[in-house]
Amino acid sequence: MLAFAAGLVTLALILVELNQERSLSLRIIYLGLAYLGLFACAHLAVRRWAPYADPAILPCVALLNGLGLVVIHRIDLAMEGTVFPDGSTWDPVAFKQVIWTAIGLLLFAATLKFLPDHRTLARFGYTFGLAGLVALMLPGVLPGFIAPEINGAKIWLRVGPLSIQPGEFAKILLMVFFAAFLVSKRDLFTTAGRRFLGMDLPRARDLGPLFAAWGVAVAVMVLQKDLGSSLLFFGIVLVLLYVATERAAWVVLGVGLFSGGAVIAWKLFTHVQQRVANWQDPIARYDVLGGGYQISQSLFGLATGGIGGAGLGAGRPEMIPEANTDFITAVIGEELGFVGFGALLLIYMVFALRGLRGAISVRDSFGKLLGGGLAFAVCFQVFIVVGGVTKLIPMTGITAPFLSYGGSSLLANYILVALLLRISAAARAPQRAPKPKPQQPAIADQHTVMVERPK
C-alpha cells in the first residue's frame, strides 16, 4: 500500500511538472525515490517498534503528505517570480516542507521507539496539561516582537528564522492531559446530579473542567483571534468528556456554552463579524478589504474544476490567497475535481476511522480516550478547514492535516499518528499467553462442591 501511495504521488508530481514546465527532468525520479525512501524508513520503524500497528494508517498519511508536497511544489511553480506589493518575492517552500517531513518522520520514529506503551503518558498527565496550556496561551500573551500577528491571528512564535505555532503541539499535550485526567476522575463525573428534561445533569461543581475548557477556548478566540483552533480545542474536550462519561448532557451543555460564547464574540469582535459576513455572501463582499475575495476564489476554483478537475498543474491556485496552507484543499478540489476531492476526504475518513478502530479495541480506558480524541481531532480539523473552504461553515483559518505547508502542524500531526499507531498496536497485539492454569486434579479426585444453578 505504501508503494502504491508512493507511485500515486510520483505520478502526481510528473503531471504537475508536465503541465507547468512542459518538460520532465531527472529530478522527479530523485524526488519520487526520496519520498519512497523516507516512508520505507517510517514503515520499517513501525515494523520494528510497533509491529502490530494498523497497516492502513501509515499509507493514508503517506498519501496525504505526498499529495500535500506535490501541491505545495505546484503552487511554488505558479507563484514563481511573483513580486508582492511590499517588494518581496515569492519564496519557494516545497523543499522546506520536504525537510519538515523528514524531521516529522524522525519524530514519528522516535515517538514509537521511546514510547513502547502509551499508558506511560498517563503518568505525566498534569505536566503535559500545564505545558499544553502554556503553549496554547503563549503567543496570545507575549509581546508582538516574538509573537507577531500574521494575517490577523496571533498564534505564531518567532525564534530566529523559525516560526512555530505552539498551538499545534498544545492540542496533543492537552488531549493527553484530558484523557489522563478524565480517566482518573471518571467516577466523579458520572455521579448524577439532578435530572432535567430526561437528562442527568452533572453536579454543578463537576462542571469546573468544562468551564475551564470553555474559558480557554474563549481566551484563544479573543487573545489570538484564532477561531479555528478555538473551535477545534473545544470540540475535542467535549468529545473526550462525552466518551469518558457516556453522558449526552455534557455535549448539550458544551454546545450551548460554545454557541453562547460564539454569539457574544460575534457581537463584540469585528473579525468574527467579518468571517460570518464573508460566509453568508462572499460575492457581495468581494472587493472589501478582509472580505469575501479569498472564499470566492476558492469557490470559483472548486466550481471551475467541476467533476473531473482541471488536471494537476492546470488550475489557477495563484488566484487563491494562502493557497498552500489553509486553502490547499481548494487547490486540490480545483485540479483534481470532485472525484479527487471526494477521494481525499475519504482518505481522511479511512485514516480517522482506523485510528478510532484502534481506540475501540484497545483494552485500557486511557488508550480508548486518547485514541478516540486523536482520531476525532483529525476528522474535526478536516471538517473545520474543508467546511470553511467550501462555504459550509464560516472560514476560521486552520491547517489541513498533512497537506498544508507548515512545520509545526506537520510535526504535531506526525506525533499524533505515532500515538495512534502505538494505541492500535496495543489493541492488535496478541494477548499474552494466559498463565498456565495450575494443574487440576483429576475429576475423580475433586471434592464435591455446591454449584450455583445457571440463571
Partner 1 sequence: MNTPLRRVGMAMMVMIVLLLGNATWVQVINADEWRKNPYNKRVLLDEYARKRGLITVADGTVIADVKETTDRLRYLRTYNNGPVYAPVTGYLSVTYGTSGMERAENDLLNGSDDRLFARRVSALITGRDPVGGNVQLTLDSKVQQVAYDQLTAKGFTGSVVAIKPSTGEILAMVSTPSYDPNRLASHDGNEQQAAWKELTAKGNGNPLINRATQGLYPPGSTYKVVVAAAALADGKGKDTQYTAAGTINLPGTSNAPFPNFNGQPCGPGQTVSMETALAKSCNTAFGEMAAQVGKSKLTAQSNKFGFNDSDLKVPLSVETSTLGAIQDEAALYQSGIGQRDVRVTPLQNAMIAATIANGGKRMQPYLVSKVLGPDLKPIDETDPDELDTAMTTANAGVLRDMMIQSEINTGGEGRLANIQVASKTGTAEHGENVSQNKPHAWYIAFAPAQKPEIAIAVIVEDGGDRGLGATGGKVAAPIGRAVMNAYLAGR
Q: Which residues lie near partner 1 (CB under 8 A)?
A: 78, 239, 242-244, 246, 283, 286, 296, 299-307, 310, 315-316, 318-319, 333, 337-338, 341-342, 345-346, 348-349, 352-353, 356, 359-360, 365, 368-369, 372, 375-376, 379-380, 382-383, 386-387, 390-392
How far is 91 from 82, CA to CA, in rounded Å? 9
Minimum distance, C-beta of residue 450 to partner 1, in the bound complex (Å): 36
Minimum distance, C-beta of residue 315 to partner 1, in the bound complex (Å): 8
C-alpha cell at 31: 524526488
Minimum distance, C-beta of residue 341 to partner 1, in the bound complex (Å): 5
Phi, psi of 443 (to 5 degrees): -50, -40
Whether the CB-CB separation of 58 and 42 falls below 8 Å is answered with yes
Q: Which helix (H) or strand (E) holds 298?
A: helix 293-305
Enter the DSSP assignment of 202: E
- Write the Ramachandran bin of 362: left for phi over 0, alpha for psi from -120 to 50, otherwise beta: beta
End-to-end CA distance of the chain: 50
Whether the CB-CB separation of 129 and 177 falls below 8 Å is answered with yes
Closer CB to partner 1, residue 266 or residue 300? Answer: 300
Closer CB to partner 1, residue 24 or residue 307? Answer: 307
Minimum distance, C-beta of residue 375 to partner 1, in the bound complex (Å): 7
Other Cβ atoms closer than 10 A to 252:
15
Other Cβ atoms closer than 10 A to 30:
10
Minimum distance, C-beta of residue 348 to partner 1, in the bound complex (Å): 7
Minimum distance, C-beta of residue 243 to partner 1, in the bound complex (Å): 4
Listed in sequence order, the residues at least 6 apart from 28 whose beta carbon sits closer than 8 Å to its beta carbon are 10, 13, 14, 17
Minimum distance, C-beta of residue 16 to partner 1, in the bound complex (Å): 14
Closer CB to partner 1, residue 158 or residue 316? Answer: 316
C-alpha cell at 429: 497485539
How far is 409 from 228, CA to CA, in rounded Å? 14
